[in-house]
Structure 1
Amino acid sequence: MKRSVVNIIDGKTVHPTGDSERFIVDPATGDEIARVRDSSDRDVAAAVSAASAAFDGWSRRTPANRHALLHRLADLLEQHSEEFLKLEVANVGKPIAAFREEFGDCVDGIRLGAAAGRNLTTPAATEYLEGVTSAFRREPIGVVGAITPWNYPLLQAIAKIIPALAVGNTMVIKPSELTPLSTVRFVELANEVLPPGVLNVVIGDGTGTGAALTRNPAVGIVSFTGSVVGGQAVALSAALGLRKAIMELGGNAPAVVFADADVPRAASLLAASGLFNAGQECMASSRLLIHQSVRDEFVEALLAEIGAVRLGSTFDEATTLGPLISQKQLDRAVGFLDRLPSSAQILCGGSRADRGGYFLEPTVVTGLGHEDEIIQNEVFAPILTVQTFSDDDEALTLANGTEYGLSASVWSSNSGRTSRFARDLKAGMVWINEHLKFGPDCAVNGFGASGFGIENGLLGATEFTRLKHVLTSQH
């Protein structure tokens, strides 16, 4: 059944008034499931105005009151679990078994983030100056302009919405134009428990609706998750308005496997983390760096794991690999494979799967040079590359040898080595003998082209506050 998607502004459903209309498709089938009209600049301004008007009342509620309301929202979301499973699986193409686990993190993320306003910290009050007591306040910033990606629409929306609201901000969120369904429905549910204007959603693309949101002078902070190119545009817009920005951008995670690692376990976990969400995961283990002495053993185990992957209907509980999000994303991934250098070898996969939708066979590529484009760029597809190294120094050089710095992992039984690599890897999150083990409590931030600012956990909630220094005379 096709559905119409609308904005929610000041607690009411409002039809977008922009000129452009697009179809939302199920990437597993290519079938149209919804129609979306973009929001106009006037629609965005109305949403920001509603959030601005709601800010004073919301920010002056006690943290306990905001906590209680957001906890009710977690309960409400949990009660609608089957509805959200169907929405996200159809709109994003996630295998239903995988999203069922992810949905648990969505509910847990609300319950965790809801308490953020009750757990903020500041430096201790003291007398830095004679006769004056210094104290500090953490205060909400105002209206948050949030832009979320298409690979985790509900999870990423919750990661931004809940901590921002818990500490007293209001928000206008723009989901990806490809995957708006679960976010719009979530905001609709939220408005059953929140005061009007506290949380608003506008539909549209990044260059139109997104740009109108980030340049609005009433927006006090921008939180963006998406591509490096998109992040650069958003960061520039925020900078021109002298507004704070949180940027969670792309990744190209290395996984460094030494000869003394548990090679079968590493191959199993790295196959799973590299293919998770069809590789459309900014922390996926896409670059596998293997000590040359265990290369053959690792590759044999990796290919065996990939051989057990099952493509199929995303509503089938047995399916483990879903499609890419769109024909454009599929074409981009195939383009990387078409342009491989002559030295490259495709050990498995390498082609579009013989079925409807936007499926790509899980693929392993070796025989690559470090400067090859498939190594240097975020591919965002079920494609794993394998390179070898001879010693620790070469491994570190290869691992740090791209512009990205979101995450990495190191696999070894030598604790001294893993400690050195945890220190020296240029990544905001480093796993030791693990990869992609993650949850709402885990703060993440990028280095280099992977962005700046923290998401998740109490540290992520603190990003949505500003610090005020209050100096009181003792006379």
Structure 2
Amino acid sequence: MSEISLLPATLEFLQRPHGQFIDGNPCTGSGNTIAVINPATEAVIASVSTASTDQINAAVNAAHQCFTSVWADFNPYARGLILNRLADLIEAHGEELAQLETLESGKNIVLSRIFAVQQSALCLRYFAGWTTKISGETLPCNFPSMQGEQYSAYTRREPVGVVAAIVPWNFSVMIACWKLAAALACGCTVVLKPSEFTPLALLRLMELAREAGLPAGALNLVNGAGEVGKALIEHPLVNKVSFTGSVASGEKVNVAAASRMIRCTLELGGKNTAALLKDADINRAVGGLLQTGYIHQGQVCAAPERVLVHRSRIDELTDKLGAALTAAPMGSPLDERMPFGPLSNRPHFDKVRHYLDIASRESRILCGGQSLDRPGYYITPAMVQARHIEETLMQEETFGPVISFMAYDDEEELLGLINHSPYGLGTSLWTNNLAAAMRMIPKVESGTVWVNMHTMVDPSVPFGGVKKSGLGREFGSAAIEEYTELKSVFLCY
């Protein structure tokens, strides 16, 4: 095993006291502390104090004060410059951020460099370009003139105000940047709550945001478990919540936001399907499933968790994929050569083990699914043969290195199987038959449909789900609409 060496800056950061970031400054506080665990070794690498009620109020008040006195009226071009400077700083300190994210999440260091650094910077630069392009429209009026007067109307897009952004543990920096980039570009201010499992890289991001020139109070961070997120959503000065996480938590967030009649964006994951038509290129599909179904141990909201394959091709697919999985090594996420590493935390490890136990009773485990006898939360990538669409692992999200495979016979049956799910985040169709793909796309109940690819997202293309996979959209012009209110103005002259 050959692990990379940790930077002195990474080691120094781990030794600091950690807590919140409020009104432009770090602060610890006297509340309880959370131990941050390295999932590859189960060692405690840092501790973080949880936010007190006073600190939560201080963070929201700072965001509100900055919104009303500074940021909402900030020069749009200057907003974009700050977001671009933050992107520059993320790239300049990229290895430090990537190491922190790997240490706390178990993500392979190469993936951390791609997602925490490259994709985060890309998202910030994309929304930096939006700051000067948020506009309304001029509209004709149809009122009759009574005494020669004339009428005109136009619309304005105005920032919604303070945003509570609640971020999961799987891609903490990248998903935080999805939310804060769009919100800040629109003139909103943000209070960010990381997962209690992965607070460190985001605390470092807060320091970089201050260095980039973001005004004090525009971006704040409070740490803690679910009760901290609940307090944010219920705070009277919070005008919108953007949440990424589980369906169970998202339903509670939705109810709390609805009770206050505030905006709510939910991205809740799903039981995503990869559908291989009869003519699919199996070798291409094997490579695609390795890259998208098992990346970060399957802890990706859009990852394919169930694969529907034409009955004539299913053995070919499972044989080739099983051979590739068996040959792939598993080890430390700080080893650049290791494609597979640990799950991100103990509760999630236990959850995946629970689903594998169910699979052993209801289905047939073709390969993998073993826990390694070593420190860390390691489970080997698993393939499950399903017999029926109602099996647990064909309906419930495992969010782990487990893909279920099931055969079908014709296109009509395939569409029914794809849509037989409480979720609707992403679906991929693997085929060289463009006509078949174009026929199916409108009938697939999914927020995103990929063809001959899976999981890929782009900041210019809206991303989100239907059914229990969520409400609203990240990215693109749709995100601008999520963080702005539309005001209509009438003029008589």
Q: TM-score, normalised by structure 2?
A: 0.93
Q: Describe the superposition over 1:116-147 as per-residue Cα deviations: whole angstroms up to 9, x where unpaired.
A: 22222434432243432110000001101110
The match for 1:83 is 96
Counterpart contact for 1:365–1:384, Cα < 8 Å: yes
**1:404-443 to 2 correspondence within 5 Å?**
404-443=423-462
The match for 1:11 is 24
**Aligned: 1:122 with 2:136:** yes
The alpha-carbon distance between structure 1 residues 216 and 342, as it changes in their structure 2 partners (threshold 3 A), is closer
C-alpha distance in 2 between matches for 1:224 and 1:273: 23
Counterpart contact for 2:359–2:384, Cα < 8 Å: no
Decide which of 23, 31, 48 is 1:36's aligned counterpart.
48
Q: One-letter code of the match for 1:26?
A: N
C-alpha distance in 2 between matches for 1:332 and 1:222: 27
The alpha-carbon distance between structure 1 residues 460 and 308, as it changes in their structure 2 partners (threshold 3 A), is farther
The match for 2:127 is 113
The match for 1:178 is 197
How far has the Cα of 1:342 moved from its partner?
A: 4.2
Counterpart contact for 1:120–1:462, Cα < 8 Å: no
The match for 2:7 is none
Counterpart contact for 2:362–2:391, Cα < 8 Å: no
The match for 1:459 is 478
- For residue 55 of structure 1, give the secondary structure of its aligned residue in structure 2: helix
**Aligned: 1:248 with 2:261:** no
- For residue 179 of structure 1, give the secondary structure of its aligned residue in structure 2: coil
Counterpart contact for 2:21–2:221, Cα < 8 Å: yes
State which drifts further: 304-313 or 183-192: 304-313
**Aligned: 1:370 with 2:382:** no
How far has the Cα of 1:270 moved from its partner?
A: 1.5
The match for 1:97 is 110
Q: What RMSD in Å do the two structures reach over aligned CA positions?
A: 1.4
State which drifts further: 210-219 or 233-242: 233-242
**1:21-32 to 2 correspondence within 5 Å?**
21-32=33-44
The match for 1:50 is 62
- For residue 154 of structure 2, give the secondary structure of its aligned residue in structure 1: strand
The match for 2:317 is 298
Decide which of 264, 269, 275 is 2:283's aligned counterpart.
264
**Aligned: 1:150 with 2:162:** no
C-alpha distance in 2 between matches for 1:140 and 1:445: 21
Counterpart contact for 1:23–1:36, Cα < 8 Å: yes
Decide which of 319, 324, 343 is 2:338's aligned counterpart.
319
- For residue 136 of structure 2, give the secondary structure of its aligned residue in structure 1: coil
Q: Describe the superposition over 1:234-262 as per-residue Cα deviations: whole angstroms up to 9, x where unpaired.
A: 11111111101000112110111011111
The match for 2:216 is 196
Counterpart contact for 1:128–1:134, Cα < 8 Å: no
Runs of 4+ in 1 over 4 A off after TM superposition: none
Counterpart contact for 1:238–1:245, Cα < 8 Å: yes
C-alpha distance in 1 between matches for 2:251 and 2:363: 32
Q: TM-score, normalised by structure 1?
A: 0.97
Counterpart contact for 1:268–1:301, Cα < 8 Å: no
Q: One-letter code of the match for 2:59?
A: A
C-alpha distance in 2 between matches for 1:309 and 1:16: 45
Q: Describe the superposition over 1:356-391 as per-residue Cα deviations: whole angstroms up to 9, x where unpaired.
A: 210110000104321111111000100010001001
Q: Describe the superposition over 1:17-49 as per-residue Cα deviations: whole angstroms up to 9, x where unpaired.
A: 43x322110111111011122112221111000
How far has the Cα of 1:341 moved from its partner?
A: 5.8
The match for 2:5 is none
**Aligned: 1:135 with 2:147:** no
The match for 1:391 is 410
C-alpha distance in 2 between matches for 1:31 and 1:341: 31
Structure 2, unmatched stretches of 5+, are 1-10, 145-149
C-alpha distance in 1 between matches for 2:483 and 2:47: 33
Q: Describe the superposition over 1:395-421 as per-residue Cα deviations: whole angstroms up to 9, x where unpaired.
A: 111111110000001111221210122
Q: One-letter code of the match for 1:67?
A: G
The alpha-carbon distance between structure 1 residues 343 and 60, as it changes in their structure 2 partners (threshold 3 A), is closer
Q: One-letter code of the match for 1:36?
A: V
Counterpart contact for 2:386–2:394, Cα < 8 Å: no
Counterpart contact for 2:95–2:113, Cα < 8 Å: no
C-alpha distance in 1 between matches for 2:455 and 2:240: 28
Decide which of 87, 109, 120 is 1:74's aligned counterpart.
87
**Aligned: 1:329 with 2:348:** yes
Counterpart contact for 1:114–1:162, Cα < 8 Å: yes
Q: Describe the superposition over 1:67-124 as per-residue Cα deviations: whole angstroms up to 9, x where unpaired.
A: 1111111111111112111101101111111222222111111111122222224344
Counterpart contact for 2:99–2:112, Cα < 8 Å: no
C-alpha distance in 1 between matches for 2:432 and 2:387: 27
Number of aligned residues: 472
Structure 1, unmatched stretches of 5+, are none
Q: One-letter code of the match for 1:116?
A: W
C-alpha distance in 2 between matches for 1:400 and 1:438: 21
Q: One-letter code of the match for 1:24?
A: V
The alpha-carbon distance between structure 1 residues 357 and 128, as it changes in their structure 2 partners (threshold 3 A), is farther
**1:226-241 to 2 correspondence within 5 Å?**
226-241=245-260
Q: One-letter code of the match for 2:364?
A: Q
State which drifts further: 275-284 or 343-352: 343-352
C-alpha distance in 2 between matches for 1:153 and 1:171: 15
**Aligned: 1:354 with 2:366:** no
Q: One-letter code of the match for 2:128?
A: A
Counterpart contact for 1:105–1:440, Cα < 8 Å: no
The alpha-carbon distance between structure 1 residues 356 and 439, as it changes in their structure 2 partners (threshold 3 A), is farther
